[in-house]
Amino acid sequence: MTEQISCFPSAEYHESSSARYWNDVPYGSTRLNLLDICVPKRQPEDASQAIWLVYIHGGAWRDPLIDRKSFKTALDMLLEDDQPHNIAGFVSVDYRLSPYPSHPILPSSPSDDSRNSQHPEHLDDILGALLFLSTEAGRYILCGHSCGATLAMQATALLNGGRRGTRPPVALLGMEGIYDLNALVAKHSHPAYREFITGAFGEDEGTWITASQLCCELQKWQGNALLIHSINDELVDMQQTDSAVEKLVIQGFTRTTAAPSSVKNDGRRVSKIVIDCMHDEVWEQGTELAKAIRSVTDESWIPNTSSATC
Ligand SMILES: N[C@@H](CC(=O)c1ccccc1NC=O)C(=O)O
């Protein structure tokens, strides 16, 4: 079937009893510039409150087996919810990856331009996807897992600088995020850490510092940030989330322990929630990812000031 929707005109879709799906939609020119869109049939009752959720997968900027499809388990759970919600659509985005020649099943080839990228190309792809979506999904929450949370933060920092045509998200949801590359490598002695950070950001540790600083450059952003980390994350230490929260607080964010509904919700709130599962169980089992999305799409997490979307 086809339908005219302004951002993806006449694209093919398929449907289930609960949603319509536009899968494998190209937003750029490489094989990994693809995204999946899901529009629930039960739409928000108040269209003015409608919000999109854009998910950025993890996988250390390089793992070909962790891709946009990793959102599916949580998405299926969310579509089964019987409570009303305010999500107009869900998007899961792929982006170009860094080299992974030692991958046991799908090693990257030097001639594959979608698997030989380095910073800031992953980020460029995310910004490209958000620009592509901007007509349809202009009011959105940006959600990422692991290095997807890094990209979500960095994209928000750049969009807040006023890239034409794309507004920053109204809220950020970071799960098991990496926000300080140098600290991650210093903390974890397993050579894989240095290997994937070098693969994604190069040998120059100065670049790692600049890329990490970009994560928390949210001085003027008016949205709310919810950062979630598991006490049993065996791959990324909780200090990553703790120090990101501190950096936001230093920039004037108010630390909240509950959803901001209990206080005046004019944005610039940051909250940390501790969960209990392993790093990839967040999306593999889907329960924690779905739960986190329910928390943040609760209207109380969306700032009610109009400036939040400017
Ligand atoms: N599966 C990945 C590893 C991975 O995803 C990862 C490992 C340690 C810390 C963070 C990770 N992922 C972050 O996006 C790999 O094979 O390189």
Mutation pick for ligand 1 pocket among 66, 180, 193 (CB with most ligand atoms within 8 Å):
66
pLDDT in tens, 108-159: 999 999 999 999 999 999 999 999 999 999 899 999 999 999 999 999 999 9
255 CA distance to ligand 1 centroid (A)? 29
**Protein residue with its CA nearest to atom 2 in ligand 1:** 59
Query: Ligand 1: which of 188, 196, 198, 238 to mutate, most ligand atoms within 8 Å of CB?
Result: 196
Closest Cα to atom 12 of ligand 1:
60
Q: Cα 292 to the chain's mean position, in Å?
A: 12
**8 A C-beta contact, residue 180 and residue 213:** no
Determine the pLDDT at residue 91.
98
Which residue's CA is the nearest one to ligand 1's atom 5? Answer: 59
Provide the Cα torsion 169, 171, 177, 178; round to 10°. Answer: 50
- What CATH fold (topology level) applies to the domain 15-309? Rossmann fold (3.40.50)
The residue ranges of every structural domain in the chain are 15-309
Please give, one letter per residue, the 3-state secondary structure of the chain.
Answer: CEECCCCCCCEECEECCCEEEEEEEECCCCCCCEEEEEEECCCCCCHHHCEEEEEECCCCCCCCCCCHHHHHHHHHHHHHCCCCCCEEEEEEECCCCCCCCCCCCCCCCCCCCCCCCCCCHHHHHHHHHHHHHCCCCCCEEEEEECHHHHHHHHHHHHHHCCCCCCCCCCEEEEECCCCCHHHHHHHCCCHHHHHHHHHHHCCCHHHHHHHHHHHCCCCCCCCEEEEEEECCCCCCCCHHHHHHHHHHHHCCCEECCCCHHHCCCCCCEEEEEEECCCCCHHHHCCHHHHHHHHHHHCHHHCCCCHHHHC
Q: What interface predicted TM-score (ipTM) does this complex get?
A: 0.99
**Mean pLDDT across 38-58:** 92
Residue type, 216: C
Residue 47: pLDDT band with limits 50, 70, 90: confident
User: Mean pLDDT score of the chain, rounded to an integer?
Assistant: 91
pLDDT of residue 261: 59
Predicted confidence at residue 227, as pLDDT, reads 97
| Rounded distance between C-alpha atoms, residue 57 and residue 34, angstroms | 13
* Alpha carbons 7 and 21: distance in angstroms, whole number: 14
**Res. 161: pLDDT tops 60:** yes
Per-residue pLDDT of 70-84, as tens digits, reads 999 999 999 999 776
Query: Measured in angstroms, how far is the CA atom of residue 104 from the centroid of ligand 1?
Result: 14
Q: What is the pTM of this model?
A: 0.95
Position 263 scores a pLDDT of 57
Average pLDDT over residues 215-229: 95
pLDDT at 268 over 60: yes
Which residue, judged by its Cα, is nearest atom 6 of ligand 1?
60
Confidence at residue 178, expressed as pLDDT on a 0 to 100 scale: 99
What positions carry a catalytic annotation?
146, 233, 279
pLDDT for position 299 = 65
pLDDT in tens, 24-35: 999 999 999 999
Residues 65, 281, 296, CA angle at the centre, nearest 5°? 105
pLDDT of residue 230 exceeding 90: yes
Percent of the chain with pLDDT over 70: 90
The alpha carbon of 297 and the centre of ligand 1 are apart by a number of angstroms equal to 27
The binding-site residues of ligand 1, defined as CB within 6 angstroms of any ligand atom, are 58-60, 62-63, 146-147, 196, 235-236
